Structure 1
Amino acid sequence: MDLVGLVVSTVAISVSGALSPGPLTASAVMIGTRRFAKGGLLIALGHMIFEFPYVLIIASLYSSIEFFLKDVNVSYALTFAVSAFILFFSYMVIREGISIIRSEARRMKESKGYAFNPVLIGIALTGLNPYFLLWWLSVGLPLIQLSMSMGFPLLLVMYGAHVWMDYFWLTLMGFAGESGVKILKSKGYGILLIALGLILALFAMNISLKT
Protein backbone atom coordinates (compact mmCIF):
# COMPACT_ATOMS: atom_id res chain seq x y z
CA MET A 1 0.00 0.00 0.00
CA ASP A 2 1.27 3.50 -0.84
CA LEU A 3 1.09 6.71 1.21
CA VAL A 4 -2.22 7.83 -0.29
CA GLY A 5 -3.79 4.45 0.41
CA LEU A 6 -2.63 4.60 4.02
CA VAL A 7 -4.14 8.05 4.53
CA VAL A 8 -7.43 7.09 2.88
CA SER A 9 -7.66 3.90 4.96
CA THR A 10 -6.93 5.83 8.15
CA VAL A 11 -9.64 8.41 7.47
CA ALA A 12 -12.17 5.74 6.49
CA ILE A 13 -11.57 3.70 9.65
CA SER A 14 -11.22 6.65 12.03
CA VAL A 15 -14.15 8.81 10.97
CA SER A 16 -16.87 6.85 12.75
CA GLY A 17 -15.01 7.02 16.03
CA ALA A 18 -13.74 10.59 15.77
CA LEU A 19 -17.12 12.08 14.78
CA SER A 20 -19.35 9.95 16.98
CA PRO A 21 -21.20 11.45 19.96
CA GLY A 22 -19.58 10.74 23.29
CA PRO A 23 -18.29 12.34 26.49
CA LEU A 24 -15.60 14.33 24.64
CA THR A 25 -18.17 15.76 22.21
CA ALA A 26 -20.63 16.70 24.96
CA SER A 27 -17.82 18.25 27.02
CA ALA A 28 -16.66 20.37 24.07
CA VAL A 29 -20.19 21.70 23.56
CA MET A 30 -20.55 22.38 27.30
CA ILE A 31 -17.31 24.34 27.49
CA GLY A 32 -18.30 26.21 24.34
CA THR A 33 -21.42 27.46 26.12
CA ARG A 34 -19.12 29.33 28.51
CA ARG A 35 -18.15 31.57 25.59
CA PHE A 36 -14.96 29.61 25.40
CA ALA A 37 -15.19 28.05 21.94
CA LYS A 38 -11.48 27.27 21.85
CA GLY A 39 -12.12 24.95 24.79
CA GLY A 40 -13.01 22.30 22.23
CA LEU A 41 -9.57 22.72 20.70
CA LEU A 42 -7.98 22.34 24.13
CA ILE A 43 -10.00 19.19 24.84
CA ALA A 44 -8.64 17.78 21.57
CA LEU A 45 -5.13 18.71 22.71
CA GLY A 46 -5.66 16.83 25.98
CA HIS A 47 -7.01 13.87 24.03
CA MET A 48 -3.88 13.84 21.85
CA ILE A 49 -1.53 14.24 24.82
CA PHE A 50 -2.70 10.83 26.01
CA GLU A 51 -3.50 9.19 22.68
CA PHE A 52 -0.25 9.76 20.79
CA PRO A 53 2.06 8.14 23.38
CA TYR A 54 -0.50 5.36 23.75
CA VAL A 55 -0.34 4.62 20.01
CA LEU A 56 3.45 4.57 20.17
CA ILE A 57 3.35 2.15 23.11
CA ILE A 58 0.95 -0.16 21.25
CA ALA A 59 3.28 -0.14 18.26
CA SER A 60 6.06 -1.38 20.54
CA LEU A 61 4.33 -3.49 23.18
CA TYR A 62 1.04 -4.68 21.70
CA SER A 63 0.78 -8.10 23.38
CA SER A 64 1.55 -6.79 26.87
CA ILE A 65 -0.91 -3.89 26.58
CA GLU A 66 -3.68 -6.14 25.26
CA PHE A 67 -3.25 -8.62 28.14
CA PHE A 68 -3.32 -5.81 30.72
CA LEU A 69 -6.40 -3.99 29.40
CA LYS A 70 -8.42 -7.17 28.92
CA ASP A 71 -7.95 -8.10 32.57
CA VAL A 72 -11.39 -7.92 34.21
CA ASN A 73 -10.17 -6.06 37.29
CA VAL A 74 -8.40 -3.43 35.20
CA SER A 75 -11.48 -2.98 33.03
CA TYR A 76 -13.73 -2.49 36.06
CA ALA A 77 -11.31 -0.05 37.68
CA LEU A 78 -11.07 2.09 34.53
CA THR A 79 -14.84 2.01 34.06
CA PHE A 80 -15.44 3.11 37.65
CA ALA A 81 -12.91 5.94 37.36
CA VAL A 82 -14.22 7.37 34.08
CA SER A 83 -17.87 6.97 35.13
CA ALA A 84 -17.23 8.75 38.43
CA PHE A 85 -15.41 11.59 36.64
CA ILE A 86 -18.18 12.04 34.08
CA LEU A 87 -20.94 11.88 36.72
CA PHE A 88 -19.22 14.52 38.85
CA PHE A 89 -18.76 16.73 35.79
CA SER A 90 -22.44 16.14 34.93
CA TYR A 91 -23.53 17.08 38.46
CA MET A 92 -21.60 20.37 38.32
CA VAL A 93 -23.12 21.26 34.96
CA ILE A 94 -26.69 20.42 35.99
CA ARG A 95 -26.32 22.30 39.28
CA GLU A 96 -25.24 25.45 37.47
CA GLY A 97 -28.07 25.10 34.96
CA ILE A 98 -30.64 24.91 37.77
CA SER A 99 -29.03 27.88 39.53
CA ILE A 100 -29.22 29.99 36.37
CA ILE A 101 -32.89 29.15 35.79
CA ARG A 102 -33.74 30.03 39.39
CA SER A 103 -31.90 33.32 39.36
CA GLU A 104 -33.06 34.26 35.84
CA ALA A 105 -29.57 35.61 35.23
CA ARG A 106 -27.11 34.36 32.67
CA ARG A 107 -23.80 33.63 34.31
CA MET A 108 -21.32 33.20 31.55
CA LYS A 109 -17.88 32.82 33.02
CA GLU A 110 -14.67 32.87 31.04
CA SER A 111 -12.27 29.96 31.20
CA LYS A 112 -10.40 31.44 34.16
CA GLY A 113 -13.58 31.07 36.22
CA TYR A 114 -14.28 27.53 35.16
CA ALA A 115 -13.57 24.71 37.57
CA PHE A 116 -12.36 22.23 34.93
CA ASN A 117 -9.30 22.65 32.74
CA PRO A 118 -10.27 21.62 29.16
CA VAL A 119 -6.88 19.95 28.57
CA LEU A 120 -7.29 17.85 31.71
CA ILE A 121 -10.84 16.95 30.66
CA GLY A 122 -9.46 15.67 27.36
CA ILE A 123 -6.76 13.65 29.10
CA ALA A 124 -9.12 12.15 31.70
CA LEU A 125 -11.95 11.25 29.33
CA THR A 126 -9.43 9.60 27.02
CA GLY A 127 -7.08 7.82 29.39
CA LEU A 128 -9.81 6.49 31.69
CA ASN A 129 -12.12 5.27 28.94
CA PRO A 130 -11.65 1.50 28.47
CA TYR A 131 -13.56 1.53 25.18
CA PHE A 132 -11.22 4.12 23.71
CA LEU A 133 -8.21 2.13 24.92
CA LEU A 134 -9.56 -1.08 23.37
CA TRP A 135 -10.48 0.70 20.11
CA TRP A 136 -6.80 1.10 19.27
CA LEU A 137 -6.23 -2.56 20.16
CA SER A 138 -9.00 -3.74 17.84
CA VAL A 139 -10.41 -1.42 15.15
CA GLY A 140 -7.35 0.82 15.05
CA LEU A 141 -4.75 -1.94 15.35
CA PRO A 142 -4.56 -2.73 11.59
CA LEU A 143 -3.65 0.93 10.99
CA ILE A 144 -0.76 0.70 13.45
CA GLN A 145 0.45 -2.60 12.02
CA LEU A 146 0.16 -1.43 8.42
CA SER A 147 1.95 1.87 9.00
CA MET A 148 4.73 0.21 11.03
CA SER A 149 5.28 -2.31 8.24
CA MET A 150 5.94 0.69 5.98
CA GLY A 151 8.37 2.29 8.44
CA PHE A 152 8.11 4.44 11.57
CA PRO A 153 7.70 7.75 9.68
CA LEU A 154 4.51 6.33 8.17
CA LEU A 155 3.16 5.68 11.68
CA LEU A 156 3.42 9.43 12.25
CA VAL A 157 1.64 10.05 8.94
CA MET A 158 -1.11 7.63 9.92
CA TYR A 159 -1.60 9.31 13.28
CA GLY A 160 -1.70 12.75 11.69
CA ALA A 161 -4.38 11.52 9.27
CA HIS A 162 -6.34 10.31 12.29
CA VAL A 163 -5.97 13.07 14.86
CA TRP A 164 -6.86 16.04 12.65
CA MET A 165 -10.47 14.79 12.70
CA ASP A 166 -10.50 14.95 16.50
CA TYR A 167 -9.28 18.56 16.38
CA PHE A 168 -11.77 19.49 13.67
CA TRP A 169 -14.77 17.88 15.37
CA LEU A 170 -14.13 18.99 18.96
CA THR A 171 -13.25 22.53 17.91
CA LEU A 172 -16.43 22.64 15.81
CA MET A 173 -18.45 21.44 18.81
CA GLY A 174 -16.90 24.16 20.96
CA PHE A 175 -17.95 26.83 18.47
CA ALA A 176 -21.39 25.22 18.20
CA GLY A 177 -21.83 25.51 21.95
CA GLU A 178 -20.74 29.15 21.96
CA SER A 179 -22.89 30.07 18.96
CA GLY A 180 -25.94 28.30 20.33
CA VAL A 181 -25.87 30.01 23.69
CA LYS A 182 -25.59 33.48 22.13
CA ILE A 183 -29.19 33.21 20.89
CA LEU A 184 -30.58 31.90 24.17
CA LYS A 185 -31.93 33.90 27.07
CA SER A 186 -30.80 33.02 30.58
CA LYS A 187 -33.49 30.38 31.11
CA GLY A 188 -32.70 28.77 27.74
CA TYR A 189 -29.01 28.71 28.66
CA GLY A 190 -29.81 27.01 31.94
CA ILE A 191 -31.95 24.41 30.19
CA LEU A 192 -29.15 23.75 27.69
CA LEU A 193 -26.70 23.15 30.54
CA ILE A 194 -29.09 20.73 32.23
CA ALA A 195 -29.61 18.84 28.96
CA LEU A 196 -25.86 18.55 28.39
CA GLY A 197 -25.37 17.40 31.98
CA LEU A 198 -28.01 14.70 31.55
CA ILE A 199 -26.38 13.58 28.28
CA LEU A 200 -23.06 13.23 30.09
CA ALA A 201 -24.75 11.20 32.84
CA LEU A 202 -26.26 8.89 30.22
CA PHE A 203 -22.81 8.35 28.70
CA ALA A 204 -21.47 7.44 32.14
CA MET A 205 -24.29 4.94 32.72
CA ASN A 206 -23.84 3.47 29.25
CA ILE A 207 -20.12 2.91 29.84
CA SER A 208 -20.87 1.23 33.18
CA LEU A 209 -23.56 -1.06 31.77
CA LYS A 210 -21.34 -2.21 28.90
CA THR A 211 -18.60 -3.42 31.22
Structure 2
Amino acid sequence: MMPQSLVGIILFSFLIGLTGALAPGPTLVATITASMKGGWTAGPKVTLGHIAIEALVALLILAGVATVVQRYTSLIAAVGGCALIGFGLLTLRGVSSASLNQSGAVTTQGPILAGMLTSVANPYFWIWWLSIGSGFLVDSIGIGALAVAAFMAGHWAADLGWFTAVSTGVHRGGEILPEPAYRMILQGCGVLLILFGGYYLSTLLSVT
Protein backbone atom coordinates (compact mmCIF):
# COMPACT_ATOMS: atom_id res chain seq x y z
CA MET A 1 0.00 0.00 0.00
CA MET A 2 1.35 3.42 -1.00
CA PRO A 3 2.02 5.77 1.99
CA GLN A 4 -0.16 8.85 2.08
CA SER A 5 2.43 11.46 3.13
CA LEU A 6 4.92 12.90 0.63
CA VAL A 7 7.89 12.04 2.85
CA GLY A 8 6.59 8.50 3.22
CA ILE A 9 6.17 8.18 -0.54
CA ILE A 10 9.74 9.38 -1.17
CA LEU A 11 11.20 6.92 1.35
CA PHE A 12 9.01 4.11 0.06
CA SER A 13 9.95 4.81 -3.57
CA PHE A 14 13.64 5.09 -2.62
CA LEU A 15 13.63 1.62 -1.07
CA ILE A 16 11.68 0.13 -3.98
CA GLY A 17 14.08 1.82 -6.41
CA LEU A 18 17.07 0.29 -4.67
CA THR A 19 15.73 -3.20 -5.39
CA GLY A 20 16.22 -2.47 -9.08
CA ALA A 21 19.33 -0.30 -8.87
CA LEU A 22 21.32 -2.73 -6.71
CA ALA A 23 20.58 -5.71 -8.98
CA PRO A 24 23.41 -6.53 -11.43
CA GLY A 25 22.41 -5.45 -14.91
CA PRO A 26 23.56 -3.71 -18.10
CA THR A 27 23.24 -0.19 -16.65
CA LEU A 28 25.56 -1.16 -13.80
CA VAL A 29 28.01 -2.59 -16.34
CA ALA A 30 27.82 0.66 -18.33
CA THR A 31 28.55 2.65 -15.15
CA ILE A 32 31.60 0.56 -14.32
CA THR A 33 32.94 0.76 -17.88
CA ALA A 34 32.42 4.53 -18.20
CA SER A 35 33.89 5.21 -14.74
CA MET A 36 37.17 3.59 -15.72
CA LYS A 37 37.79 6.49 -18.10
CA GLY A 38 35.33 9.21 -17.17
CA GLY A 39 35.81 9.39 -13.40
CA TRP A 40 33.18 9.55 -10.69
CA THR A 41 30.92 11.82 -12.75
CA ALA A 42 30.19 8.88 -15.07
CA GLY A 43 27.70 7.57 -12.51
CA PRO A 44 25.51 10.70 -12.48
CA LYS A 45 25.77 10.93 -16.27
CA VAL A 46 24.68 7.32 -16.79
CA THR A 47 21.88 7.95 -14.32
CA LEU A 48 20.82 11.04 -16.29
CA GLY A 49 20.42 8.93 -19.43
CA HIS A 50 18.54 6.32 -17.43
CA ILE A 51 16.26 8.99 -15.95
CA ALA A 52 15.49 10.41 -19.41
CA ILE A 53 14.10 7.04 -20.51
CA GLU A 54 12.24 6.50 -17.23
CA ALA A 55 10.64 9.93 -17.45
CA LEU A 56 9.31 9.07 -20.91
CA VAL A 57 8.02 5.70 -19.70
CA ALA A 58 6.32 7.34 -16.71
CA LEU A 59 4.60 9.83 -18.99
CA LEU A 60 3.38 6.99 -21.20
CA ILE A 61 2.05 5.15 -18.16
CA LEU A 62 0.27 8.28 -17.03
CA ALA A 63 -1.25 8.51 -20.50
CA GLY A 64 -2.60 4.99 -20.18
CA VAL A 65 -0.29 3.35 -22.71
CA ALA A 66 0.99 0.64 -20.35
CA THR A 67 -2.02 -1.62 -20.87
CA VAL A 68 -1.44 -1.55 -24.63
CA VAL A 69 2.34 -2.14 -24.52
CA GLN A 70 1.94 -5.11 -22.14
CA ARG A 71 0.76 -7.14 -25.13
CA TYR A 72 4.22 -6.87 -26.67
CA THR A 73 6.43 -7.77 -23.72
CA SER A 74 7.69 -10.90 -25.52
CA LEU A 75 8.81 -8.85 -28.51
CA ILE A 76 10.48 -6.34 -26.19
CA ALA A 77 12.34 -9.16 -24.44
CA ALA A 78 13.50 -10.64 -27.76
CA VAL A 79 14.77 -7.34 -29.17
CA GLY A 80 16.34 -6.32 -25.86
CA GLY A 81 18.10 -9.66 -25.42
CA CYS A 82 19.59 -9.48 -28.90
CA ALA A 83 20.67 -5.88 -28.32
CA LEU A 84 22.46 -6.77 -25.07
CA ILE A 85 24.35 -9.56 -26.84
CA GLY A 86 25.31 -7.06 -29.56
CA PHE A 87 26.58 -4.54 -26.99
CA GLY A 88 28.58 -7.30 -25.31
CA LEU A 89 30.22 -8.36 -28.57
CA LEU A 90 31.15 -4.76 -29.37
CA THR A 91 32.71 -4.40 -25.91
CA LEU A 92 34.77 -7.56 -26.36
CA ARG A 93 35.84 -6.39 -29.80
CA GLY A 94 37.37 -3.23 -28.34
CA VAL A 95 39.18 -4.89 -25.42
CA SER A 96 42.49 -5.47 -27.23
CA SER A 97 42.88 -1.77 -28.08
CA ALA A 98 41.49 -0.40 -24.81
CA SER A 99 43.86 1.75 -22.79
CA LEU A 100 43.58 3.87 -19.69
CA ASN A 101 45.95 6.35 -21.35
CA GLN A 102 43.72 7.00 -24.35
CA SER A 103 42.32 10.52 -24.47
CA GLY A 104 38.80 11.24 -25.53
CA ALA A 105 37.72 7.60 -25.40
CA VAL A 106 34.78 8.53 -23.23
CA THR A 107 33.09 11.81 -24.11
CA THR A 108 30.68 13.81 -22.01
CA GLN A 109 27.85 12.42 -24.10
CA GLY A 110 29.03 8.81 -23.92
CA PRO A 111 27.85 7.85 -20.40
CA ILE A 112 24.51 9.61 -20.88
CA LEU A 113 23.90 7.71 -24.11
CA ALA A 114 25.02 4.49 -22.42
CA GLY A 115 22.47 5.04 -19.67
CA MET A 116 19.76 5.49 -22.25
CA LEU A 117 20.71 2.51 -24.43
CA THR A 118 21.20 0.03 -21.61
CA SER A 119 17.84 1.03 -20.14
CA VAL A 120 16.00 0.66 -23.44
CA ALA A 121 17.72 -2.66 -24.19
CA ASN A 122 17.02 -4.18 -20.77
CA PRO A 123 13.80 -6.27 -20.91
CA TYR A 124 13.56 -6.32 -17.11
CA PHE A 125 13.47 -2.51 -17.15
CA TRP A 126 10.31 -2.61 -19.25
CA ILE A 127 8.78 -5.51 -17.38
CA TRP A 128 9.35 -3.74 -14.04
CA TRP A 129 7.80 -0.48 -15.22
CA LEU A 130 4.88 -2.15 -16.97
CA SER A 131 4.03 -4.17 -13.87
CA ILE A 132 5.42 -3.08 -10.49
CA GLY A 133 6.33 0.47 -11.47
CA SER A 134 3.08 1.23 -13.24
CA GLY A 135 1.09 -0.13 -10.29
CA PHE A 136 2.84 2.16 -7.80
CA LEU A 137 2.65 5.08 -10.19
CA VAL A 138 -1.08 4.62 -10.69
CA ASP A 139 -1.50 4.44 -6.89
CA SER A 140 0.35 7.75 -6.54
CA ILE A 141 -1.91 9.32 -9.18
CA GLY A 142 -4.85 8.59 -6.91
CA ILE A 143 -3.21 10.65 -4.16
CA GLY A 144 -2.31 13.62 -6.33
CA ALA A 145 0.22 15.24 -8.65
CA LEU A 146 2.67 15.92 -5.82
CA ALA A 147 2.57 12.23 -4.91
CA VAL A 148 3.59 11.34 -8.48
CA ALA A 149 6.50 13.79 -8.26
CA ALA A 150 7.50 12.39 -4.86
CA PHE A 151 7.41 8.82 -6.17
CA MET A 152 9.67 9.64 -9.12
CA ALA A 153 12.02 11.71 -6.94
CA GLY A 154 12.52 8.86 -4.49
CA HIS A 155 13.05 6.36 -7.31
CA TRP A 156 15.61 8.53 -9.07
CA ALA A 157 17.40 9.29 -5.78
CA ALA A 158 18.01 5.54 -5.41
CA ASP A 159 19.45 5.29 -8.92
CA LEU A 160 21.62 8.39 -8.52
CA GLY A 161 22.92 7.40 -5.10
CA TRP A 162 23.86 3.87 -6.09
CA PHE A 163 25.43 4.56 -9.49
CA THR A 164 27.36 7.55 -8.12
CA ALA A 165 28.73 5.37 -5.32
CA VAL A 166 29.76 2.73 -7.87
CA SER A 167 31.45 5.23 -10.20
CA THR A 168 33.29 6.89 -7.30
CA GLY A 169 34.60 3.56 -6.05
CA VAL A 170 35.68 2.43 -9.52
CA HIS A 171 37.36 5.75 -10.27
CA ARG A 172 39.42 5.72 -7.09
CA GLY A 173 40.59 2.22 -7.84
CA GLY A 174 41.06 2.93 -11.54
CA GLU A 175 43.63 5.66 -10.86
CA ILE A 176 46.19 2.99 -10.01
CA LEU A 177 44.68 0.08 -11.96
CA PRO A 178 47.16 -1.76 -14.22
CA GLU A 179 46.16 -1.79 -17.87
CA PRO A 180 45.90 -5.62 -18.06
CA ALA A 181 43.44 -5.54 -15.16
CA TYR A 182 41.53 -2.73 -16.88
CA ARG A 183 41.19 -4.81 -20.04
CA MET A 184 40.17 -7.84 -17.99
CA ILE A 185 37.38 -5.82 -16.37
CA LEU A 186 36.19 -4.62 -19.78
CA GLN A 187 36.25 -8.22 -20.99
CA GLY A 188 34.20 -9.26 -17.98
CA CYS A 189 31.70 -6.48 -18.70
CA GLY A 190 31.33 -7.69 -22.28
CA VAL A 191 30.78 -11.26 -21.15
CA LEU A 192 28.21 -10.13 -18.58
CA LEU A 193 26.24 -8.24 -21.23
CA ILE A 194 26.19 -11.34 -23.44
CA LEU A 195 25.11 -13.49 -20.49
CA PHE A 196 22.33 -11.05 -19.61
CA GLY A 197 21.10 -11.11 -23.20
CA GLY A 198 21.30 -14.88 -23.43
CA TYR A 199 19.45 -15.27 -20.14
CA TYR A 200 16.63 -13.00 -21.28
CA LEU A 201 16.30 -14.92 -24.55
CA SER A 202 16.35 -18.28 -22.74
CA THR A 203 13.59 -17.21 -20.34
CA LEU A 204 11.57 -16.04 -23.33
CA LEU A 205 11.94 -19.43 -25.04
CA SER A 206 10.98 -21.25 -21.85
CA VAL A 207 7.55 -19.63 -21.79
CA THR A 208 6.77 -20.06 -25.48
The one of 32, 37, 40 aligned to 2:40: 37
Aligned to 1:49: 52
Shift of 1:11: 2.3
Q: Report the Cα offset of residue 35 of structure 1.
A: 4.0
Residue 75 of structure 1 aligns with which residue? 74
In structure 2, C-alpha distance between the alignment counterparts of 1:179 and 1:138, rounded to whole Å: 37
Distance change in 2, residues 1:26/1:171 (3 Å): same
Equivalent residue number for residue 85 of structure 1:
83
| Structure 2 Cα separation of the partners of residues 142 and 69 of structure 1 | 13
The answer (yes or no) to whether the contact 2:46–2:115 under 8 Å persists in 1 is yes
Q: What letter matches 1:138 in structure 2? A: S
Between the aligned residues of both structures, percent identity stands at: 24
Name the SS for the 2:177 alignment partner. coil
Specify the alignment match of 1:204 in structure 2: 197
Q: CA RMSD in A?
A: 2.3
Q: Which residue is 2:134 aligned to? A: 141
Relative distance call for 1:191 and 1:21 in structure 2 (3 A) is same
Task: Tell me the residue number matched to 1:188.
Answer: 181
Q: C-alpha deviations, 1:56-92, integer Å up to 9, x for none? A: 221231xx42232333xx632x334333433333223
Q: Give the equivalent residue in structure 2 for 1:6.
A: 9
Partners of 2:46 and 2:16 in 1: CA distance: 22
CA contact (8 A) 1:94 1:198 kept: yes
Whether the 8 Å CA contact 1:35–1:109 is kept in 2: the answer is no
Q: 1:163-204 CA deviation, whole Å, 9 max, x = no partner? A: 111111122222233223223222222212211221122112
- Unaligned residue ranges in structure 1 (runs of 5+): 101-105
* Distance in 2 separating the partners of 1:109 and 1:92: 18
In 2: Cα distance, 1:177 partner to 1:200 partner = 18
Q: Secondary structure at the match of 1:98?
A: coil
Q: CA offset at residue 44 of structure 1?
A: 0.6
CA change 1:163–1:108 in 2 (3 A) is same
Partner of 1:169: 162
Deviates more, 1:182-191 or 1:85-94: 85-94
TM-score by length of 2: 0.84
Instruction: Please tell me whether the aligned partners of residues 66 and 134 of structure 2 are also in contact (alpha carbons under 8 angstroms).
Output: no
Q: Are the structure 2 counterparts of residues 193 and 122 from structure 1 closer, same or farther at C-alpha, using a change threshold of 3 Å?
A: same
Q: Structure 1 length normalisation: TM-score?
A: 0.83
The amino acid that maps onto 2:105 is: G
Contact 1:147–1:158 (Cα < 8 Å) also in 2:
yes
Pairing partner for 2:26 from 13, 23, 40:
23
Contact residue 30 and residue 174 of structure 1 kept, 8 A: no
Give the Cα separation in 1 of the matches to 2:197 and 2:62: 29
SS in 1 for 2:187: helix
Q: Which amino acid aligns with 1:54?
A: V
Structure 2 residue 124 is the aligned partner of structure 1 residue 131: yes
